[in-house]
Amino acid sequence: MGYVDRTPEGSAGAGYYELKTKQGDKRQVPASRIVKIVVYPDVAAYSRITKTEERDTLARAAADLKAVVTDYPATRTYLDPSIKALNKELAQYDAGNVKVDGAWVSRESFIAGQVSVLGGQLRSDINRAQPTSSFDLHTDPRFVGLQDMAATSPSAKALVKDLSDTYDKLLRAESRQTLLTSFDSSTMTFSEAQGGVERLKTMKPEEDPRSLAFIKKWAASVDAANQLRSRAEPLAKEFDDQMKNVTDVAIPPLASPELLAKITNLDGDLRIFFATKPAPVLVRESDLALSLTSISGAFNKLQTLFPAREFLQAKELLDPLVSRASSVGPETKRVAGLLQTYVSERIQDFSRQREEAKILLDSGKQKEALEKFEAAFAVIPDATVGEQVSQLKEALGVNAQPEKK
């Protein structure tokens, strides 16, 4: 129970130990009679012995008792029963059994039970994890325990492999999906995309039809983009050369018939390429071909828009393409700028004449307003302005309709 000090100041050995027997009796033993305190190990207290460490604890208890008997032979009759009980427990463990909840069972059945329980828990956690990477199987203590069991248990070894294969397959599927999604980014560079494709090839793409299709499509798309760029480069140079002598853009410039035919063919192949929905990074790789065909196509449409004085439509056509013109060449950029300026001036002139006409009309000066509206209509045949001209002519007794010049 413990040592009780009853030693008066200056007197030695006057204390005693108060002990409690198994029957619950208390016994006081003077300290002078105590040679060694020996704690009798209660075998029943060792209710679980499944590991070498737990077995070693038992062995140390037996060794301690044997050492006491060696040093104090008179204690043999008291300690032998405990030593034998401990040795019996050790023999059970050494025979391949383990103790669980106070009962000895074969190690095989114990491991089989552990394998079944841990396997079920881990499999459930793997399937429930969203995303899979949120659960780290390989560092989970339960899985580490299974790996230890696998050293001696075929069933544990098979389960470890099965769980690893299942987890790794799901992890690869997640990684492939993340990688495939990244190819939709408009900021990914070609080198980054190429590196991503190489990584995708190491992720067992054969497990995923979409990944296999992407890898195959990527190779074909890269080849197509390279061909488009190779074809566009000499055509862009020739187109830019033909823009050198353009100074007056009142009549929009146009490539030579021979060059125009080649650009038209390039445009057809470019449309086919875009129909395959290539990754944004490959669309950028074909940017020169797109710029050339867009600029050439716009210049061609201007051949109709300018004579029809459809300058508002011409502006809508030119504005987004001016920035692309520099990709084709400096002369193309210059001419595109001239065209944009020409169109802007026509629109400004139209707007000025129309606003002046409105002011005159509001002032009651119908004749002067009519002249301004007709001047505006002569720049851009706007339907609203044309209606205004007709109304004013009718009011002034003039029946002629405004003519498109």
21-57 pLDDT, tens digit each: 667 777 777 777 766 666 667 787 788 888 889 899 8
Average pLDDT over residues 238-254: 95
Contact 67, 16 (CB under 8 A): no
Helices 311-328, 287-305: axis angle to 10 degrees equals: 150
Question: Who's near 93: CB < 8 A, 6+ residues apart?
Answer: 49, 55, 58, 99
Work out the pLDDT band at 234, boundaries 50, 70, 90.
very high
Average pLDDT over residues 307-333: 94
Alpha carbon distance 213, 193 (integer Å): 16
Strand partners, 98: 105
Q: Is the pLDDT of residue 59 over 60?
A: yes
Q: Is the pLDDT of residue 198 over 80?
A: yes
Is the N-terminal amide bond of 131 cis, ω within 30° of 0? Answer: yes
Q: Is the pLDDT of residue 373 over 60?
A: yes
Work out the pLDDT band at 1, boundaries 50, 70, 90.
very low
Work out the pLDDT band at 12, boundaries 50, 70, 90.
low
Contact 235, 290 (CB under 8 A): no
Average pLDDT, the chain: 89
Q: Is the pLDDT of residue 242 over 60?
A: yes
Average pLDDT over residues 72-85: 85
pLDDT recorded at residue 6:
55
Q: Is the pLDDT of residue 374 over 70?
A: yes
pLDDT recorded at residue 94:
87
Q: Is the pLDDT of residue 13 over 70?
A: no
Work out the pLDDT band at 3, boundaries 50, 70, 90.
very low
Question: Who's near 110: CB < 8 A, 6+ residues apart?
Answer: 50, 98, 100
pLDDT recorded at residue 50:
81
Closest CA to 366 of 375, 357, 354, 374: 357
Instruction: Convert the pLDDT of each residue in 169-188 to its tens digit.
Output: 999 999 999 999 999 998 99
Amino acid in the structure at residue 270? L
Alpha carbon distance 391, 147 (integer Å): 94
Average pLDDT over residues 347-373: 94
Q: Is the pLDDT of residue 14 over 70?
A: no
Contact 314, 322 (CB under 8 A): no
C-alpha separations of 373 from 354, 355, 362, 370, 403 in Å: 6, 9, 13, 5, 12
Q: Is the pLDDT of residue 131 over 70?
A: yes
Q: Is the pLDDT of residue 107 over 50?
A: yes
Give alpha helix (H) positions in 95-189.
107-128, 141-150, 154-182
Query: Percent helix, strand, coil in the chain (nearest 5)?
Result: 70, 5, 25
